[in-house]
Structure 1
């Protein structure tokens, strides 16, 4: 009955990994089960036959579905069934989304859906890593255009030794919780929490993880060659080159003047009449193509900013290694336990700390061994922070992700419950955003914790670095820069976030929009981030140098 059923086996980080396909989910574009130890995750990928109309982005959705039967639990809610995704599920979806998204064709607008379903969990073998691998295999063997495969791995630092895919026992004495995703030649995603790990050790751990990833990528490529479907043809949404050339000739000099300011509001005031003039000039020449004209305006701004950056010029006039003006303040609010305001250029974050009894800890009904969480960090990004009018509808995936990033960066310096028997909740309110608010929330949180009298081990600061590569993606031809603002993040190739103390890294996240980064790029970005972090810490310590 199942004539297409196939089984493929390999060894990954010293443990057997099995791939099964062809028995279930025959109506998906691509489907597989991956067994790693006794962890089992099913991945299914589907795509719409036609592009979605009226969108200027690639509509990809990634969902990681936790099933409590996978760990032998009945859900604890009143309904006794799984409801909306947990915070851990949302974070895992984001970790899988980030490495696969840059590898889809830039001009594709067909809806693509990725669903990972956790069927069984062995605590020694991460279902999150297994899900990422299953997604890569399902996309590779499907008919959906995608420039993979990739693979992911977890890297730990146990008793001073780098360990790949650490077991449950090893994770109890682990100073590094690093997830790396990569293709055969490049790193495509990094996510890490660490206990003040130095830059050299972090880079060594990343490269060691990548060496193991390469073996699995080769294994997936062999599966793809054997059973992969031909990729389907799609309707390209690439901009009309003649239209772009005409718009560039008409408006390039005015757009350059509009972009050449360090004030986001002035930039928008200058750009709006130019956009109106472009539409007045070209709407009749290109009827019913207003969306394509808007895409050309976006591409024109991107081309100008990237060319400037590659020449060493930044839109606000700073040098490549220069950080925006900084300000730090504590004790702004009466009654609250601790408050800190951190400002970097036009990015401003207020964090408020609240202490409570340990019984206030959050109860967690999840797939891993974590049952409660004593330290919680929540991040809010209201529409007014970017000058927009939009109703608040609670935290989205981005807010949850940024809150978790800040939480991870600060967790290593939070005193243990034996020394400080309190639950802690930090809330970061983004008051103004022009790039790098997640790192601003880390700085504001350090201020709030010390203002609340929490005996943290050391102050933590965070900073983002950016990247511009040559037009043809030749990575020997690149430029990195420190403290990127909104435009540089929007039009650049990488957002490289690093948080830590004077002694080492505590949080690390790399997002890219290209096919991957090289070791040299990471070395330069880590060095720039360290210098920037130390400078920010010196400014914060002038405001408050120890817990009150």
Structure 2
């Protein structure tokens, strides 16, 4: 504390406004749908991204009106990341809290279900830890999502700001590590894009903060976010990949008249089950007429879409159709288009 207050000297020799050495990389894990690694000093986080059909969104049973969650973020910090040898058990306070913080940091930039009909799960694994792993997982998740082809509206970066106080004296420092977090008075985490903040979380050991300290912390973290986005995230991957991984399910969407839903489903689900059996696709139909079709093979998804379109099609007089005559009657014939 004396070094910081009197000499503005940090334990690793950095200036008060200096960020540790950074690195960003995508595509580390070729078999997953998307992956990214973000390194900040001795803190390193690898995030993998998995895409799935909407039907595999997480079901919630809470007291509010939200019953499903299409974006899930899990954070794991095993003992070896801090040099400990211990068994990996159920998630603790840190895993749940940091996972929720990273999840909330990313949600504002995710595409709508209509534009990108996938359930998304990101898992951040802390490989090595020396402070600010939650914000490193935010950066790693941005890399993994862009690598997976998720059309996020803007890259998100996160960074922390520390505080040292003595009476009326105070001083902030950017990108605190473990020792500075332990001896300091504040851990002020801010994540966001270049257009604004998506999440704030603060740990405070003193009675309160003045408006000047808060303003200084916000300005400091803003400059840090811009630096990370411009110099590391965007040079690593400038925009989301144009298409999802070849290992990810391919999704198509369409919307039909609500009155046609029963025709697509059929009696006892016979029609929709036959479409799934013939094409190998998975089909989800919502009450408003939105249909989501998923298949590993894109052609299978298009085949299912064509079948659905033929079922809900209203024949137009004068149009030529190719069909199969199923029955001939005195008054005409039944034709399956």
Structure 1 residue 365: Cα displacement:
0.7
Aligned to 2:129: 433
Q: Which residue of 1 aligns with 2:4?
A: 309
Q: 1:398 offset after TM fit, Å?
A: 1.1
Match runs of 1:74-473 below 5 Å = 306-311=1-6, 312-470=8-166
Deviations 1:140-184 (A, max 9, x none): xxxxxxxxxxxxxxxxxxxxxxxxxxxxxxxxxxxxxxxxxxxxx
Q: Secondary structure at the match of 2:80?
A: helix
- Distance in 2, Cα, partners of 1:488 & 1:536: 21
Q: Give the structure 1 partner of residue 189 of structure 2.
A: 497
TM-score by length of 1: 0.43
2:177 alignment counterpart: 485
Residue segments in structure 1 that go unaligned for 5+ positions in a row: 1-305
- Give 3-state SS (helix, strand or coil) of 1:336's partner: coil
- 1:526 counterpart residue number: 218
Write the deviation string for residues 321-380 of structure 1: whole angstroms up to 9, x where unpaired.
Answer: 000000000000121000000000000000000000011111111111111100000000
Structure having the higher Rg: 2
Structure 2 equivalent of residue 94 of structure 1: none
CA RMSD of aligned residues (A): 0.6
Equivalent of 2:207, from 487, 506, 515? 515
Q: Deviations over 1:295-321 (max 9, x none)?
A: xxxxxxxxxxx1111121100000000
Aligned residues: 239
Distance in 2 of aligned mates of 1:413 and 1:499: 12
5+ residue gaps, structure 2 = 242-337
Select the residue among 232, 237, 242 that pairs with 1:544: 237
Segments of 4+ moved more than 6 angstroms: none
3-state SS of paired residue (1:450): helix
Deviation at residue 504 of structure 1 after TM alignment: 0.6
| Bigger relative contact order, structure 1 or 2 (CA pairs below 8 A, ≥6 apart) | 2
Q: Distance in 1 between matches of 2:44 and 2:54?
A: 31
Tell me, what secondary structure is at the counterpart of 2:155? coil
Rounded Cα–Cα distance in structure 2 between residues aligned with 1:489 and 1:496: 10
Paired with 1:309 and 1:390, the residues of 2 have a C-alpha distance of 34
Report SS of the residue matched to 2:91.
coil
Query: CA–CA distance in 1 between the matches of 2:135 and 2:93?
Result: 17
The two structures have a TM-score, normalised by structure 2, of 0.70
